[in-house]
Structure 1
């Protein structure tokens, strides 16, 4: 019987996890995410229609965009948004300044996701302030939008209103962008740069075509910040270069670097993301690290303000479950292994998505659900379990008598249990470790199971 219950709880856990998040992207002042069911969600600033719901109304909780359930990738940029569907089509919406959305439509904004052309082989996309670059599955590189600094890489400074192929190479593999520059890695492991070199190399010169950085052939991952860059090699080392006014390069100084420098000596870096003058990264054990500008608490270290910048990589908490990261303008998002998103930093336009407009300096959980699993009551056929997420006391309320309440971990192992004969009760969960749990409530031989988050 115990084995049967465990299997049942695991099944329920998987069913609930299916409603959680698959991928995330933090933009300048808005956020995008895809759930495991392929639906698209957005929140934060919306004055330029970057959320894609056809309005210019700001949202402070995840809001579903349309009804399509075949989204596979999203990119939240500088007031513009991009998404790729499972059929390889590319969709754009939000700010169309300098016609950076590439549709040939000169309108200043596009209010809802609109397909870009008819191609069905788009792989990834990234945008700068007013330019966009993208890769196709055949390894070709494409760009459009503003080009005054050569950031499109087509050897001109002429703006492009629709996707334009850059060169003839078919071995481009990874891309990233800054405000007015672009970066990419080829399948041979070489690293390339083009666009404005202002603040990147300490001069105002520019490159109108991709130029190779160094001669190394083991570059693996890329991140483009406002005026700084970060990359990881196949040997697990982390490298940064560019502006360093707030310690965003992580070398313990504020010295600008014109070429990539290694950050520390660690060889277990897994992923990296660069925001506006700050950087976040994960290691192979899924620990989370951050450094750089921290005025809004975007590093998630429990501090904020003018004197809170951090100049070397610093571990954020002790959790080992940060499997996806995204650094936005002044807020950061992290997706945990259990499918839940946490956010920290500026929240003035609801870009964290926790239902408030209050700045956070530690990572705060975001709901998997349309309107619940926040600080509001969670109702399920009359059952209320609140608050959720919870810190200390978890409350239960039902119109009929509750006979048993138990809390299990995601392996189905019972941690707490309480027998009673009331329609209201509470359980002290202050001693539970932070994480996700299953709550099982029994009433009149009817069993309800739901997820809670312990902060």
Structure 2
């Protein structure tokens, strides 16, 4: 397999929106899957896509040889962004607040953001006399969250558009969200370089160089926007229209911040000790709303200052962090993944019917197992990203993807819409148009084999989902009767060996083998079920008698 084919199958970055996911491959292609409402997938329609599909940028009017090659992707709640290697920014999806950078309706296909074309960087426009020597602006990275979009240019200036926290003539100094389709520079960082940025529904967190140039660890962390839950990490709940330094990560801090992620109303940061340091250990810090345990601090309280997540093991180096609406996930360089927050760290997943001690929100990190694989960890991890209620992990150096959480609308990319409470394989790589053309050059037999293999994989994924649901059902039923989880050793021998099941005989054998404690529990379970049935029958009979009496009285009155 040549390098171009390898790169086309290697995912180098992912971004997750409310219910959709974007993936960027090494050859510069963009794929999307999940919910299609508002055109957020960029496919030309609002149809859902349960498996990854390639986003078509042929509307750029370029030949195949000159096709756009993309180097960045970003996802807001219902819109998407892609950055090409020539600096052009393409947007699609929901546009009610101007987050696409165009004055118009929602877009189901990528549209070019014209504002950055032949525009100079704000850092070069110091006065009128210098306008003749403008440095051509080139966007170097894009980010999105909620209903806003962000970009960083080649001189480190930050731009914002959509529904953003900005000063307005009508805001009278208070907090205000301004909707605009025109990218506006954040002048507060003039003379400094914005290195990374993240945003939630209504707040922004930026990593900015302390001096005029970025030297590696001289980063200061700023935040601004809505702060009603303490998501700015400034020690109070007062909103800010202008960036303010988070003191925990100022220039004198012993911690160097290298990753940042924002949920709707909470923030997560990854740090390591500044050099010189004997270890590469890292910490995850969280702050903001904690109602569902999304801060991982073993409580449901808000945190107004950054606080380390103590439930993570020491001696690990975290390489990526993602925040959903109500959950947070991190992945280490060794391939361990932890999640915490709503419904056992799955996010907004109301159908996750856990029982016993597994019920409820995870207030501290839970280790996510690599289900169904021989290796207990995720090999060669790259990145983790969180949507509103789903999590996506890129591993195997970009050649394999896993997802879990809410599966509605095909969000998990595994070919169906079932919820998955443990990692499931995304159907990757997809059968692209290029690969189909390559197949046409080979024999018909090979093409038919590939087609059947693809169908078989789809069927296997569906069967795996059904099997998981049945296993959960059997485990709940078995647990309610016998007081312990269902395990393989509990499968009756006749069913395991011969595929038949004589329930009367197996029940008799089970009673013979049961000790006194198990028999007492079975009797109690039987009595409780019997009492429940009798109670329901009694209530039904009373209801029938009442209805008969009402019917008789109404008939007699006539």
TM-score with structure 1 setting the length: 0.74
Choose which of 131, 134, 143 in structure 1 pairs with 2:148: 131
Secondary structure of the equivalent of 1:194?
A: strand
Aligned to 1:175: 197
Do structure 1's residue 220 and structure 2's residue 253 form an aligned pair?
no
Do structure 1's residue 82 and structure 2's residue 81 form an aligned pair?
yes
Aligned to 1:241: 287
Aligned to 1:165: 185
CA–CA distance in structure 1, aligned partners of residues 348 and 98 of structure 2:
33
Q: 1:48 to 1:334 in 2, by over 3 A?
A: same
Aligned to 1:266: 314
1:271-350 paired onto structure 2 within 5 Å = 271-294=320-343, 297=346, 307-317=359-369, 318-321=376-379, 322-338=381-397, 339-350=399-410
TM-score with structure 2 setting the length: 0.61
Do structure 1's residue 61 and structure 2's residue 121 form an aligned pair?
no
Aligned to 1:98: 97
* 1:14 positional shift: 9.0
Q: Look at both structures and tell me which one has the larger radius of gyration over its CA atoms.
A: 2
Q: Is the 8 A contact 2:267 2:323 kept in 1?
A: yes
Q: 1:204 to 1:101 in 2, by over 3 A?
A: farther
1:281-430 paired onto structure 2 within 5 Å = 281-294=330-343, 297=346, 307-317=359-369, 318-321=376-379, 322-338=381-397, 339-371=399-431, 380-383=446-449, 384-385=452-453, 387-388=456-457
Choose which of 38, 53, 58 in structure 2 pairs with 1:48: 38
Aligned CA RMSD, in angstroms, stands at 3.0
Instruction: Pick which of 230-239 and 111-120 moved more.
Output: 111-120
Extract unaligned runs of 5+ from structure 2.
59-66, 119-136, 210-217, 274-281, 370-375, 433-444, 464-558
Aligned to 1:194: 224
CA–CA distance in structure 1, aligned partners of residues 3 and 157 of structure 2:
41
Deviations 1:190-241 (A, max 9, x none): 1100000011259763111100000336222101011110001133111110
Deviations 1:403-445 (A, max 9, x none): xxxxxxxxxxxxxxxxxxxxxxxxxxxxxxxxxxxxxxxxxxx
CA–CA distance in structure 1, aligned partners of residues 417 and 138 of structure 2:
39
1:8-47 paired onto structure 2 within 5 Å = 11=1, 15=5, 18-47=8-37
Aligned to 1:145: 162
Secondary structure of the equivalent of 2:223?
A: strand
CA–CA distance in structure 1, aligned partners of residues 184 and 6 of structure 2:
43
* 1:294 positional shift: 2.5
Q: Is the 8 A contact 1:20 1:368 kept in 2?
A: no
Q: 1:297 to 1:272 in 2, by over 3 A?
A: closer
Secondary structure of the equivalent of 2:97?
A: helix
Number of aligned positions between the proteins: 371
Extract unaligned runs of 5+ from structure 1.
1-10, 373-378, 394-455
Give the structure with the larger strand fraction.
1
